[in-house]
Amino acid sequence: MKKNSQVPDIFTPDGFVIAQMICHAIAKTGDSNVDGMISALEGWQFMAPKGKQRIRPEDHAMIQPMFQVQLVKNAKGKYDAKVLKTASPGNVQPPVKPFK
């Protein structure tokens, strides 16, 4: 993105994670069978742009760290995000909502 004079937005890491998930699922199954790909992803833990992430098997929730940030004006008059605190994935995960 820097090469193209672009800056990442809050969704940029998610697109990268989706690519990681697709590659992992296909590598594990060897094909594009959806049920097999789902099974290959359930419980998978991996390093992503935001840190260690896990796909919870019970409801397929993505368990990941969260960040508290502050926008700080830089010398060029633009704003940079300053990370104030990182919340561990276990502390911010939603309650389990099993499939019916």
Report pTM: 0.77
Length of the chain: 100
d(CA 99, CA 60): 9
Question: What pLDDT is attached to residue 68?
Answer: 92
Burial of 50: CB neighbours in 10 Å, binned 0-12, 13-18, 19+ = middle
β-sheet bridge partners, residue 48: 51
Q: 16 pLDDT exceeds 80? A: yes
Domains of the chain: 2-92 (3.40.50.2300)
**Tens digit of each residue's pLDDT (9 = 90 or more) over 47-92:** 999 899 999 999 999 999 999 999 999 999 999 889 999 999 988 9
